[in-house]
Amino acid sequence: MRPQTLDDYIGQKHLVGEGAVIRRMIEQKRVASFILWGPPGVGKTTLANIIAKTLEVPFYTLSAVTSGVKDVRDVIERAKSSRFFATGNPILFIDEIHRFSKSQQDSLLGAVEQGVVTLIGATTENPSFEVIRPLLSRCQVYVLNPLEQDDLLHLVDLALQKDVMLKQRQIDVKETDALLRYSGGDARKLLNILELTLQESDVITDEIVTKCLQQNPLAYDKDGEMHYDLISAFIKSIRGSNPDAAIYYLARMIEGGEQPEFIARRLVISASEDIGLANPNALLLANAAFDAVHKLGWPEGRIPLAEATVYLATSPKSNSAYMAINDALQYVQKSGNLPVPLHLRNAPTKLMEQLGYGKDYKYAHDYEGHFVRQQFLPDEAQDQQFWHAQDNPQEAKLKERMDKLWKEEDNKRS
C-alpha cells in the first residue's frame, strides 16, 4: 500500500499539495536538504522514496539504529562516484536521524555543505533538541501532521480495493470510530489494525475492532494515540496541581515502555510553561532530572522523574513568561524589523561611531542601584508591555522591584 507517486500520496497537503513547498521543489527538480519531523506512520519514508524516484537520482538510505560513522563515510564515497553518472545530487535518506550521535552527525556536515548529497532526515523527535546546530542550520525542517480522519478512511478504501487478497472478499465496513481512534493518525498502525480485525471477521464494527485489540494487547503504544493521550493527561495533571494523578500517568508511561528522555523533556517544558516565574527552581530541578535520566537509565531513572513530577505538580503556577514571549512574537510578526535605538547598537568600527552607534548609552552599573532610565524599545514600540506579573509571591516581588525602580526614576525626573 506504499504510494509510488505524489498523486497517490495521502495527507500532508501543506507540504505536497498544489503549490506547496515540497511539491514545488520536486517540480523544479531543485531539492535542498531538509528534515521531516512528525509522528510515526504519516509518510516520511514514503515521501523520501517518491522524491528520489521522481527525480531519478541515486538514493541511499541509512538507519540511525544500525549505522555507524564508517557507514556514513562509505555512503558519501559512493555518492561522490555516482554524481558523475546522474543529473542531480544523490539523496541520502536517514531514518530516525535523532538517534545519530554527534560524531555521526558531524560526519555528514561536509557532504551536505558541498552538495555531495542532498540529505533528507526523518525524525519523530524535535530536531531542535536532537540534531546538532551546524547540521540543522543546513537543513529546512518540515513538520508532518498525523493523518486526518478523511485521509485514514481513504486509505481503508484503497486497501479494500487494491489489496490482492482483500478485494476478493466481501468486506462490510459498518463502523469506523474505533478503527480511527486506535490508529491515532498513523497510517501503518491503521493498516495493521485493519489486517488484525479482518483475520476475525469480514464485518468491521467498533465492537469487533476493540475486541481484536484486547485479544492482542496494545495497552500502550508509544507511537500511537495512547502515547499522546497519556502525555497530555500527565502535563495537565501537573498544571492542575494534582501530584497523585501526575504520578499515576507517569507510572502508566513507564510501564508502557515510553522513552525516558521524552518524559524528561516534557517536564522541562512544563517547568517553563506552567510553573515559570512562580517558582524558578522548577526549571532547575526538571533540567537536573533530564541529566540524571541520561546518566542512570532505567529503572533508576524513574526516581528523579518522579521527584520532578511531584515537585512541579505541587509548585505554584504561572504562565506569565510563556504569555510574554507569545505576545512579543505576535507583535514582532506584525511590526516587522523595527530599528534598534542608536545608543543600544554595537560600534566595532570607527564609521559606526561616527554614525552615532552606541552614543549616549548609559552603563547601568555606573548609577545608584545599578539602574538608570533610558530607552530600550524601538520608537514605535515604546508603549508596549509584554510581561505582566501574575498573582503569586515570587512575581509580586519582581513587580514590586520594577515598579520601585521605574516609578522612583520618574519622580526624580519630574
Write out pLDDT tens, residues 255-309: 777 788 888 988 999 999 898 888 888 999 999 999 888 888 778 888 999 999 9
Are residues 20 and 91 both part of a single domain?
yes
Are residues 64 and 135 both part of a single domain?
yes
Last residue of a domain, one of 110, 143, 176: 143
Per the domain annotation, does 198 fall within a domain? yes
- Helix or strand or coil: residue 366? helix
Per the domain annotation, does 1 fall within a domain? no
pLDDT at 20 over 70: yes
pTM: 0.53
Are residues 159 and 173 both part of a single domain?
yes
pLDDT at 218 over 50: no
Per the domain annotation, does 334 fall within a domain? no
Per the domain annotation, does 321 fall within a domain? no
Are residues 294 and 230 both part of a single domain?
yes
Residue 160 sits in a domain of what CATH number? 1.10.8.60
- Helix or strand or coil: residue 121? strand
Supply the pLDDT for residue 342: 80
Nearest-10 crossing angle of helices 260-270, 281-296: 170
Are residues 275 and 180 both part of a single domain?
no
Q: Which residues touch 408 (CB under 8 Å, ≥6 apart)? A: none
Per the domain annotation, does 324 fall within a domain? no
User: How would residue 310 be classed by pLDDT, with cut points 50, 70 and 90?
Assistant: very high
Grid coordinates representing 282 are 522548577
| Max CA distance (Å), the chain | 89
Grid coordinates representing 215 are 485479544
Question: Is 308 exposed, middle or buried, given 0-12, 13-18 or 19+ CB atoms closer than 10 A?
Answer: buried
Grid coordinates representing 20 are 506547496
Last residue of a domain, one of 94, 127, 143: 143
Instruction: Find out whether 114 and 87 touch, Cβ atoms under 8 Å.
Output: no
Per the domain annotation, does 220 fall within a domain? no
Report the alpha-carbon distance of residue 321 to residue 328 in Å, rounded: 10
How much of the chain exceeds pLDDT 70, in percent?
Answer: 93
How much of the chain exceeds pLDDT 90, in percent?
Answer: 8
Are residues 95 and 67 both part of a single domain?
yes
Are residues 87 and 211 both part of a single domain?
no
Written as one letter, the residue type at 211 is K
Are residues 300 and 402 both part of a single domain?
no
Supply the pLDDT for residue 173: 85
Report the alpha-carbon distance of residue 244 to residue 234 in Å, rounded: 10
Q: Give the torsion through C-alpha atoms of 274, 275, 277, 279, to 10 deg.
A: 180
Supply the pLDDT for residue 83: 63
Report the alpha-carbon distance of residue 201 to residue 241 in Å, rounded: 46
The mean predicted confidence, pLDDT, of the chain is: 82
Per the domain annotation, does 76 fall within a domain? yes
Residue 246 sits in a domain of what CATH number? 1.20.272.10
Are residues 129 and 48 both part of a single domain?
yes
Q: 201-207 — which CB contacts under 8 Å span 24+ positions?
A: 202/169, 202/170, 202/171, 202/172, 203/171, 203/172, 203/174, 204/171, 204/172, 204/173, 204/174, 204/175, 204/176, 204/179, 205/174, 205/175, 205/178, 206/175, 206/177, 206/178, 206/179, 207/178
Please measure the distance between the N-terminal and C-terminal CA atoms of the chain and give it in whole angstroms. 76
Picking from 77, 79, 91, the residue whose alpha carbon sits closest to that of residue 47 is 91
Domain with 345 in it: 341-413
Per the domain annotation, does 325 fall within a domain? no
Are residues 153 and 114 both part of a single domain?
no
pLDDT at 35 over 70: yes
DSSP state of 5: S
| Chain length of the chain | 414
Number of domains present in the structure of the chain: 4
Q: pLDDT tens digits for 173-206?
A: 888 888 888 787 888 888 888 888 888 888 888 8
Report the alpha-carbon distance of residue 406 to residue 399 in Å, rounded: 11
Are residues 304 and 368 both part of a single domain?
no
Are residues 32 and 131 both part of a single domain?
yes
